[in-house]
Amino acid sequence: MIDDRRLLQDFLRLAGIMAPSGKESPVAKALLPELESLGLNVVVDDSTDRTGSDHGNIIATLPPTDGESPWRAFMAHMDTVPLPHPTKPIVKEGSVFSDGTTVLGADDRAGIAIIMEALRTLIEKDLPHPGIEIIFTVSEENGLFGSKALDVKGLRSSMAFVLDSSMPPGSIIATAPFATALTWNVLGLAAHAGVAPEKGINAIQAASRGISSMKLGRIDEETTANVGAIRGGHATNVVCDRVEIKAEARSLREDKLKAQLNHMRSTMKKAVTDYGATLEEKIDDKYPGFTLEKDTPVVQEAVRALRESAVIPKITSTGGGSDANVLNHSGLPSVNLGIGYQRAHSNEEFIAISNLEAMARVTLNLMTL
């Protein structure tokens, strides 16, 4: 029943709209009229002061056909990572690519296109359905800020399906990590590097000792850690007096995350102290993790819909976060479903058209009784 041609054209249209994190208005303005024309009640929340975006989250609702059925939510995010200019999507060899100068933005315009096509088909075919809440969030890529600002308690749904994973169709992400960011400022003492270097305290050297002493990368099968940015110094003839370091740790288990963070923090503190420098530290809990058991209704419903759509289900975990992390933490059982875009956040990003089609059918199945 899905109109494959219309689905592809809609994805191409959405992919070509420039709307990075914080500047989602163009894609929101493209979606709002159609949601209203389909007969949904559409609300834009007042989250802009909490997200930093130029637009609020979109929440569109469609009452159940029998008035008694439970509600379920479908979510995707409107933003992309930063772009130098609008994407030019290109269809070739059964997939959609960009022209190679930008990301494609299938993360997550593909999720939006899938949800919209399933919704169109549902309404056009007058299919019986539960109550449906469509949620398009802002500022996901830069910190899940849209979902964090969303009034989850105000939703009517008992389960939610997020369409935002690079895993192949069939993947049901029922476990995702806890993640915490660390920012360190190492404060040394400036001095002339050629005249009196012994009077200085080199912040770069202290920071380097701390970083080189840490366990980083793949810690175990459930835990990772990374130092991703370092900035400091002014000139080669000045002993560096300040360095900023940005790092993170993630784990599927909260106790393992805490252990890794304690290791990283104590290692950096010891190295800085040994050099006679001073350490300033900021800790930011990026998002909470979640684990849903196989018999959780939202997981079982995803399994059913995939099987009935001739897609093999696979309950799995991921090392990345999504809006599903926030929804679960807020008490709404949610899974993130694989839609199969590849090489996200790079100019080589692409998605197979067959993945769009398969997941639109799965989503329609989830939307019907």
Enumerate the active-site residues: 79, 140
Continuous H helices in the chain: 4-15, 25-37, 48-51, 106-124, 145-149, 203-212, 254-274, 297-308, 323-329, 353-367
Residue 130: closest CA among 170, 109, 160, 153:
160
Rg (CA), the chain: 23
Q: Indicate the DSSP class of residue 346.
A: S
The two structure tokens encoding residue 121: 């088909």
For 115-136, what is the HEC assignment?
Answer: HHHHHHHHHHCCCCCCEEEEEE
Query: CA end-to-end span of the chain, whole Å?
Result: 15
Residue 253: both structure tokens together: 């288990």
- d(CA 163, CA 77) in angstroms, rounded, equals 9
At 304, give phi and psi (nearest 5°). -60, -50
